[in-house]
Structure 1
Amino acid sequence: MLDVDEVEIVVAHSERTTLRVGDVFLKIDADQKRIDVEVEAMALTPIPTPEILWRKPPVLAIAAMQGKALGVLGKPSTASPAAWAAAGAAIRTLHEAPLPPWPWRTADDLASNLEAECEWLINNGVLPTDLVTRNREIAQAALRPWTPSFIHGDLQITHVFVEGDALTGIIDWSEASQGDAMFDLATLTLGHEDRLPEVLAGYGTDVDQEAIKAWWSLRSLLNSRWLLTHGFDPNTPGAEFDVLRARM
């Protein structure tokens, strides 16, 4: 291995730690099934992904992507409209690809989880009751029948890399599955709702924008407890709590 000046902690919590050592990322995961999914999904997807350098459980080593992330949650994205459209076009290619073999959550599972998370947010005084109730009402529109697509499943803005106006690749595939295509579009534009038209310019037609808006609420409600209990703050500017407040 080449000499490096430092080891960067990219993300660290009780489930997974990711380190950057020069141009290599080391993903250390407590659940090897997630890594199995990540490796297989990267082999199946028709869009660019990081090169897998080696795997020795519990560690997966992958090469750094060219370019930079499309943006970060809570800060304005400096990426061009064309770059956002390129991301949309790549996502459409993914959604039209043959399905991976493993299923996603059902609408009934999501509804049950939503009920539990809303109850926890209210009973623990995390968010005002009216804020949770309003977003729960909006979220219901996502709990509809959908035709399964090959989805990334965790298409955060930091997982999409671009160089200039071109997409160079997408990372972190451990949540990939058969699922609702609108969930990916909502996750990418969470906190960057003004960029949705640019994404859709590349993605094309057959888009349920009401479902995307519902997923902004649903994802934020479902994820808040996990974030709080794993050392993250959903109340930072532009993050999940701001997304929920914007719906009021």
Structure 2
Amino acid sequence: MADVTKVEVVVAHQERATLRVGDVFLKIDADQTRTDVEVKAMTMAPIPTPEVLWRKPPALALAALRGTALGRLGEPSTASPAAWAAAGAAARLLHDAPLPPWPGRSLDEIASRLDGECEWLVADGVLPADLVTRNRQVAEAALRPWTPVFTHGDLQIAHVFVDGDEITGVVDWSEASQGDALYDLASLTLGHEEHLSDVVAGYGADVDLDVIRAWWSLRSLLAVRWLVEHGFDPFSPGCEVDVLKAGP
């Protein structure tokens, strides 16, 4: 990396930071248990992931992936329908893989956190009470028993890299765990409902679209406070608040 002319800040907040230095991504995380999960999950996943170059806590060095992200929340995706379908197919491969040995969040944990976030959103006047109530009701459909699968846990489109119609890799595995398959599909299509049919076609299995929409509401309700407190703007066009406004 001797000829590198700049360092790019990919994401940075008080919990973690990711820098790009040439063809290397440096991830620095205050919580090494998240890095432990990330490295372990990448070794277990049956889909392409970045190569681990080295790890010297608190830093993890990963090789850059070929291609570009499938898209960004709040921006139109230029990826082809075939690329979106390939992302769905990659999710199916992951969900069919053996479970990781560590559990994910329980239904009770998710429901309790959802209640707390909804109370905060209304009490602090962040969002109108009727908007929160309506989406809280929609979110109920996600709070049902599911058969655990190997989930990425944060399968947003910025974490899926494509080259043409091919998936070249999936990044940011620190939230991987046993979980609900439909949560991954909802994360992948959040704010991009127009590509949901492509993802489902690539996934190749019957999915409950109402549950995916429920996860859109639930994920957005849970995200607003964290985003605000970490310097991000969930009120940007096409982002979490717009997702909540677009709900039923």
TM-score, structure 2 normalization? 0.99
Structure 2 distance, partners of 1:33, 1:52, is 16
Shift of residue 139, structure 1, vs aligned partner: 0.2
Report 1:178-189 matches (<5 A). Answer: 178-189=178-189
Matched with 1:109 is: 109
Matched with 2:153 is: 153
Matched with 1:90 is: 90
1:70-115 deviation digits (Å, cap 9, x = unpaired): 0011011000000000010010000000000111111111111111
Report 1:83-232 matches (<5 A). Answer: 83-232=83-232
Q: Which amino acid aligns with 2:37?
A: V
Aligned pairs, number:
248
Structure 2 distance, partners of 1:237, 1:185, is 22
Structure 2 distance, partners of 1:96, 1:208, is 18
Structure 2 distance, partners of 1:71, 1:2, is 31
Structure 2 distance, partners of 1:173, 1:30, is 16
Q: Provide structure 2 residue ranges, at least 5 long, that are not aligned to the other structure.
A: none
Shift of residue 206, structure 1, vs aligned partner: 3.0
Shift of residue 208, structure 1, vs aligned partner: 1.6
Structure 1 distance, partners of 2:206, 2:195, is 18
Structure 2 distance, partners of 1:123, 1:68, is 40
Matched with 1:233 is: 233
Q: Which amino acid aligns with 2:227?
A: L
- How big is the alpha-carbon RMSD for the aligned residues of Structure 1 and Structure 2? 0.6
Matched with 1:243 is: 243
SS of the residue corresponding to residue 150 of structure 2 reads strand
Shift of residue 204, structure 1, vs aligned partner: 1.1
Point out 4+ residue stretches in structure 1 off by more than 3 angstroms: none
Shift of residue 63, structure 1, vs aligned partner: 0.5
Structure 1 distance, partners of 2:101, 2:190, is 27
Structure 1 distance, partners of 2:149, 2:2, is 41
Shift of residue 197, structure 1, vs aligned partner: 0.1
TM-score, structure 1 normalization? 0.99
SS of the residue corresponding to residue 34 of structure 1 reads helix
Structure 2 distance, partners of 1:41, 1:20, is 22
- The alignment status of 1:29 with 2:29, answered yes or no, reads yes
SS of the residue corresponding to residue 28 of structure 1 reads strand
- The alignment status of 1:75 with 2:103, answered yes or no, reads no
1:161-212 deviation digits (Å, cap 9, x = unpaired): 0111111110010000000000000001000011000001100113121110
Shift of residue 2, structure 1, vs aligned partner: 2.7
1:103-140 deviation digits (Å, cap 9, x = unpaired): 11111111111110000000000000000000000000
Matched with 1:20 is: 20
Matched with 1:57 is: 57
